[in-house]
């Protein structure tokens, strides 16, 4: 891989074209996702989905079948035909495009589409509508293709509508305090929804969250004539958090039972007994529910089964403990050809790998192993009896696709061994479509037949959408971490026409926190488009993934435990030491910028190394982890009561006096993630310390600026460096 990285780097130089009169300069309207010209400068792509094992391209006006061997396309149906067959002739009932069309039945000629009023199934061979609902658009909408029943939330209550349109209200006490059918635990532990249909669509598991004991954070809506209070429920580290239970509704009996989980009888004040329930999975026969139960300290994780009919706790199948934390992120997956066995993901050997278990809780074997991470399980190839995964086995910066033989553990590479690949399997897992890119290729799409010798057909290789523009130079390399052993990877973006004899102002862009990375072997080494804008204005931008970031194994991530920001700063300063060795980096004009955890890192670096960084822009910064939420904060820092030294060390309040350079803090006024108390408290500390940061607020915005406000934001960030660093 090192050879490939160097080769790709050389190619970036060889294909570098000096600026000429015909080439254009970028604006933020071109580069920023909120910009008016952004989408025209994105790489060419295709909307794809599977109809069984038939690949289908879903365009705005037509759907095409694609031959997996030749790549040839054939019109399946058009938008006009779908509207005609479905009887959608009015403004409210017309289907507007086919890009989101799906094919829920692999053996039936039925397409699922939606209009403003309904979710519609159309038989495109019989040329007629076969079913539709009348409740589309409701919150937490969850449709099951087998029973055609739908779960949804309306005015805080959870409802189910069966295929015949019979509506059943499951709850009566839903409110802002008692929440049904929505994501819980603040979307941690891989949770992103609150309802879970059984395979046969006859039972619905759902979350009930009692957050009446959780403190309100006083957000304010300034749009009314007199500003109104719009509080968020926000459980801060070391305080009361919500209590979650799981209900199971049976469509046939129309009754609900609640799983007899440990929290059912827990008093809201018994904080030490709070449990987190995540990664809910059903047995193939729809009789049993499996989920991970995690204690509040997040260091004791158990896979537990429950009877879906009675709610009784059946068994504890396995248990994983840690002196730091355990973080379950993925539900178990039953083998399609053997319902008595399932795949479990765990980092218990130091890296995320696959383990084969039976329903008795016995580990049969570890399927994957090595100093690399399984990044995703895509599904199963039933014919070959293999599990299809994405991993970074080839290199920490790559993401490649493999078939893993469940019996032997043998891995077969399914792609070209380069770059970053994201794929989706066909219904039987015999085919996949693979959207991939690498530093010099913006987007490519292949379809692959999964076999002992995989067969691949190319569908698309996108041309460079930036070809007419003046482009910067993108480089990638590695340095050693502060421990002197661990490799850390960086990206450097240099101006077009770079002259090594000159000195350039340089900005360190940083995130640095868990569950994220900045550098990989994708197009332009995963460069953010703002970096191109800055390079165009004459800056070098340097990005380093420090220890604590993702995809490098358990110990790499957990090096920051109970001391967020400290190890990360040590590694970032190794990056600064590297920059000092480069004669073209002007160390008297060194800036730093980051958002969220990166905002925390920006102010940490500005105040811990005040003589190094001249200018910083910190967006949505965490200032003190005691004001951050329970699940994330306590996983990495424990509670303020358990770790007072760590909280004191990482707090930026007492660092306000150290500020020397120019610092701009930017927040959304209604940020529900890093609440405004963080930034405001730091400003107060700066006033008391007589230091002078600058401050800008986006009224009504959350943690990130939406829409065109993002263009305004990035122009403001850029202008701050232009004013004080250049």
Q: Which residues are catalytic?
A: 596, 671, 703
**Token pair for 541:** 């931008």
Count of CB atoms within 10 A of residue 357's CB? 19
Q: Are 415 and 432 in contact (CB under 8 A)?
A: no
Q: Nearest 5 degrees, angle CA 210-CA 212-CA 216? A: 125
The neighbouring-strand residues paired with 390 are 376, 401
Phi, psi of 436 (to 5 degrees): -140, 160
Among the listed residues 194, 105, 109, the one whose alpha carbon sits nearest the alpha carbon of residue 145: 105
Cβ atoms of residues 590 and 613 within 8 Å: yes
Give the 3-state secondary structure of residue 184: coil
Q: What's the helix, strand, coil split of the chain in %, to 5?
A: 20, 35, 45
Rounded alpha-carbon distances, angstroms, from residue 201 to 87, 481, 706? 28, 51, 36
Q: What are phi and psi of 42, to 5 degrees?
A: -90, 150
Cα 325 to the center of its chain, rounded Å: 20
CA distance between the termini of the chain:
37
CA nearest to 523, candidates 397, 394, 433, 376: 397
SS3 674: coil
**DSSP conformational letter for 8:** H
Residue at token pair 């007899």: 260
48, 102 contact by CB (below 8 A): no
State how far the Cα of 396 lies from the Cα of 550, in Å rounded to an integer.
Answer: 10
CA dist., res. 103 & res. 267, Å (int): 46
Listed in sequence order, the residues at least 6 apart from 294 whose beta carbon sits closer than 8 Å to its beta carbon are: 189, 275, 276, 277, 278, 300, 301, 302, 326, 328
Q: CB-based contacts of 315: which residues, under 8 Å, 6+ apart? A: 304, 305, 361
- List, in order, residues 6 or more apart from 62 with CB less than 8 Å away: 75, 76, 77, 78, 79, 98
How far apart are alpha carbons 437 and 722 in whole angstroms?
33
Other beta carbons within 10 angstroms of residue 200's beta carbon come to 14
Residue from 174, 250, 237 nearest 209 by CA: 174
The candidate with the shortest Cα–Cα distance to 95, out of 75, 121, 114, is 114
Q: Any bridge partners for residue 690, and if so which? A: none
Q: Cβ distance 216 to 234 under 8 Å?
A: yes
Q: Both tokens of residue 185?
A: 């635990």
Stretch (H or E) spanning 705? none
Return the structure tokens found at 488: 């850390």
What residues contact 485, with CB distance under 8 A and at least 6 apart?
none
The answer to whether 263 touches 701, Cβ cutoff 8 Å, is: no
Cα separation, 161 vs 89, whole angstroms: 26
Contact between 308 and 320 under an 8 Å Cβ cutoff? The reply is: no
């Amino acid at each position: 891989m090192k050879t490939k990285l160097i080769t790709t780097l050389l190619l970036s130089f060889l294909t570098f074209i000096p600026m000429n009169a015909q080439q254009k300069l970028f604006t933020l309207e071109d580069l920023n996702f909120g910009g008016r010209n952004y989408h025209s400068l994105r790489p060419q792509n295709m909307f794809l989905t599977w109809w069984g094992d038939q690949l289908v391209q879903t365009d705005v006006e037509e759907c095409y079948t694609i031959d997996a061997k030749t790549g040839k396309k054939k019109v399946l149906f058009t938008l006009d035909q779908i509207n005609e067959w479905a009887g959608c002739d009015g403004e409210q009932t017309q289907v507007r495009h086919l890009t989101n069309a799906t094919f829920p039945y692999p053996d039936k000629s039925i397409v699922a589409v939606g209009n403003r009023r309904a979710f519609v199934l159309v038989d495109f061979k019989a040329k007629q509508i076969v079913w539709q609902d009348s409740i589309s658009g409701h919150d937490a909408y969850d449709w099951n293709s087998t029973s055609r029943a739908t779960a949804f939330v309306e005015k805080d209550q959870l409802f189910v509508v069966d295929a015949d349109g019979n509506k059943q209200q499951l709850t009566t006490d839903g409110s802002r305090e008692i929440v049904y059918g929505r994501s819980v635990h603040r979307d941690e532990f891989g949770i992103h929804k609150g309802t879970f249909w059984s395979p046969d669509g006859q039972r619905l598991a759902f979350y009930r969250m009692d957050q009446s004991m959780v403190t309100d954070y006083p957000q304010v809506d300034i749009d009314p004539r007199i500003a109104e209070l719009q509080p968020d429920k926000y459980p801060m580290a070391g305080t009361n958090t919500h209590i979650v239970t799981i209900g199971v509704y049976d469509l046939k009996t129309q009754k609900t039972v609640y799983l007899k989980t440990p929290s059912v009888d827990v008093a809201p004040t018994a904080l030490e007994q709070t449990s987190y329930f995540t990664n809910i999975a059903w047995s193939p026969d729809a009789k049993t529910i499996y989920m991970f139960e995690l204690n509040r300290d997040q260091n004791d994780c158990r896979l537990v089964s429950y009877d879906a009919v009675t709610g009784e706790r059946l068994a504890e199948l396995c248990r994983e403990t840690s002196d730091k934390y355990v973080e379950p992120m993925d539900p178990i997956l039953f083998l399609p050809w053997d319902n008595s066995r399932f795949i479990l993901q765990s980092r218990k050997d130091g890296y995320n790998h696959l383990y084969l278990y039976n329903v008795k809780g016995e580990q049969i074997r570890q399927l994957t192993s090595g100093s690399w991470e399984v990044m995703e399980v895509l599904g199963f190839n039933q014919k070959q009896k293999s599990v299809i995964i994405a991993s970074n086995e080839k290199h920490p910066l790559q993401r490649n696709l493999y078939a893993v033989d469940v019996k032997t553990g043998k891995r077969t590479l399914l792609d070209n061994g380069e770059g970053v690949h994201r794929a989706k399997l066909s219904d039987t897992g015999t085919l996949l479509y693979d959207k991939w890119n690498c530093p010099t290729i913006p987007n490519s799409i292949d379809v692959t037949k999964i076999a002992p010798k995989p067969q691949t057909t190319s569908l698309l290789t996108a041309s460079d959408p930036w070809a007419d523009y003046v482009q910067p130079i993108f480089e990638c390399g590695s340095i050693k971490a502060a421990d002197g052993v661990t490799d850390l990877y960086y990206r450097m973006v240099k101006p077009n026409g770079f002259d090594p004899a000159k000195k350039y102002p340089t900005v360190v862009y940083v995130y640095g926190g868990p569950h994220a990375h900045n550098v990989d072997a994708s197009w332009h080494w995963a460069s953010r488009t703002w970096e191109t804008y800055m390079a165009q204005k004459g800056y070098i931008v340097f990005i380093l993934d420090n220890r604590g970031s993702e995809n490098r194994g358990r110990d790499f991530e957990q090096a920051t435990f109970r001391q967020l920001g400290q190890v990360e700063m040590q590694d970032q300063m190794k990056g600064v030491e590297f920059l000092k060795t480069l004669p073209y980096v002007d160390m008297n004009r060194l800036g730093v910028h980051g958002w969220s955890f990166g905002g925390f890192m920006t102010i940490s670096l500005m105040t811990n190394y005040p003589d190094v960084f001249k200018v910083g822009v910190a967006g949505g910064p965490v200032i003190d982890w005691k004001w951050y939420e329970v699940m994330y904060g306590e996983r990495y820092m424990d509670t303020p009561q358990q770790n007072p030294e760590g909280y004191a060390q990482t707090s930026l309040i007492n660092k306000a006096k150290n500020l020397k350079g120019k610092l701009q803090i930017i927040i959304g006024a209604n940020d529900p993630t890093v609440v405004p108390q963080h930034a405001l408290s730091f400003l107060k500390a700066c006033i008391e310390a007589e230091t002078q940061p600058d401050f800008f607020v986006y009224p009504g915005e959350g943690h990130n600026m939406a829409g065109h406000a993002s263009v305004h934001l990035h122009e403001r960030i850029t202008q701050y460096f232009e004013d004080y660093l250049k």
